[in-house]
């Protein structure tokens, strides 16, 4: 029997590594400590701090809990403190969460709730075939302005998977964006992806060059946005429409 070396696993992408680790743990009847292996970072002066300072509702595929919006900025320049509502169970994914500042929806589960983690390929297929997940993503993309952050070109498959399950179609409204980092040598690929996402899903790529700051360039961009983005409460008309949808389903 050939031994599987850690160096072999490291050559694989993160999702495949986790899938194999989970399979081995199940076969050996071992409980994986996901928190030990997936945590360790702190908010610090990072992109997480910038997002948390904006205070918007966040939908994340990260397992960690570094996203923690602390307040929202009001139109008059004042700030309102919010308490974090962290949701990781897919049966609790409801559209109303998108209107609640301080909410963090963990689309693939959270390390504090191991049973919610979407890890293996089988998990992904079952998760995105779930009616509640698809309905939630549909509401997100149809009703909200969405900015995708942290997806490199090597993760474009994950982004496409989410968009397809959310039944996103091309639209004239510029309400879906993805901040995409690329090296200058990848310019032709970036241009192809730019056209593909715009024509297929109405997602507009906002590119930044990684040659100098690498992904730190994304932090620089977010820190500039913090002082300019104000999260507005949903219009009263949206509340009426949402109540009509809920009542119509009963």
| pLDDT one-digit tens code per residue, 67-94 | 988 766 666 666 777 778 999 999 999 9
Task: Using pLDDT thresholds of 50, 70 and 90, give the confidence band for residue 134.
Answer: very high
Q: What is the pLDDT of residue 1?
A: 38
| Neighbouring-strand partners of residue 146 | 176
- At residue 198, does pLDDT exceed 80? yes
Confidence of residue 195 (pLDDT cuts 50, 70, 90): very high
Question: Around Cβ 184, how many Cβ atoms within 10 Å?
Answer: 9
179 has pLDDT over 60:
yes
Distance between CA atoms of residues 18 and 158, nearest Å: 15
Q: How far apart are CA 127 and CA 120, in angstroms?
A: 10
Between strands 146-148 and 176-182, the pairing is: parallel
Residue 205, SS3 per DSSP? strand
pTM for the complete prediction?
0.80
215 compared with 238, residue with greater pLDDT: 215
Q: Which of 5-14, 161-170, 176-185 is predicted most confidently?
A: 176-185
Least trusted range by pLDDT, from 23-27, 40-44, 63-67, 124-128: 40-44
Highest mean pLDDT among 131-135, 219-223, 232-236: 131-135
CA distance 16 to 4: 14
Measured CA to CA, the distance from residue 199 to residue 186 in angstroms comes to 20
192: pLDDT strictly greater than 70: yes
For residue 2, pLDDT beyond 50: no
Q: Write the Ramachandran bin of 46: left for phi over 0, alpha for psi from -120 to 50, otherwise beta.
A: beta
Mean of pLDDT values over 98-113: 91
């Amino acid at each position: 029997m050939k031994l599987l070396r850690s160096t072999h696993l490291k050559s694989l992408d993160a999702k495949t590594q986790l899938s194999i680790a989970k399979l081995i743990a199940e076969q050996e009847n071992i409980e994986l400590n996901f928190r030990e292996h997936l945590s360790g970072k702190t908010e610090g002066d990072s992109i997480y701090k910038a997002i948390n300072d904006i205070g918007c509702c966040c939908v994340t595929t990260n397992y960690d809990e570094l996203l923690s919006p602390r307040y929202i900025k009001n139109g008059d320049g004042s700030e309102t403190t919010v308490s974090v509502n962290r949701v990781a169970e897919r049966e609790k994914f409801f559209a109303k969460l998108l209107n609640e500042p301080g909410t963090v929806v963990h689309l693939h589960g959270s390390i504090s709730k191991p049973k919610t983690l979407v890890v293996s390929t089988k998990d992904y297929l079952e998760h995105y075939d779930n009616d509640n997940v698809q309905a939630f993503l549909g509401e997100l993309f149809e009703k909200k302005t969405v900015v995708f952050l942290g997806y490199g070109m090597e993760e474009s498959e994950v982004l496409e998977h989410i968009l397809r399950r959310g039944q996103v179609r091309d639209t004239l409204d510029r309400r879906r964006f993805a901040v995409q980092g690329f090296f200058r040598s990848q310019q032709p690929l970036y241009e192809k992806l730019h056209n593909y996402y715009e024509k297929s899903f109405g997602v507009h790529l906002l590119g930044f060059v990684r040659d100098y700051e690498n992904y730190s360039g994304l932090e620089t961009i977010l820190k500039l946005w913090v002082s300019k983005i104000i999260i507005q409460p949903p219009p009263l008309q949206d509340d009426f429409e949402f109540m009509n949808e809920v009542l119509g389903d009963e």
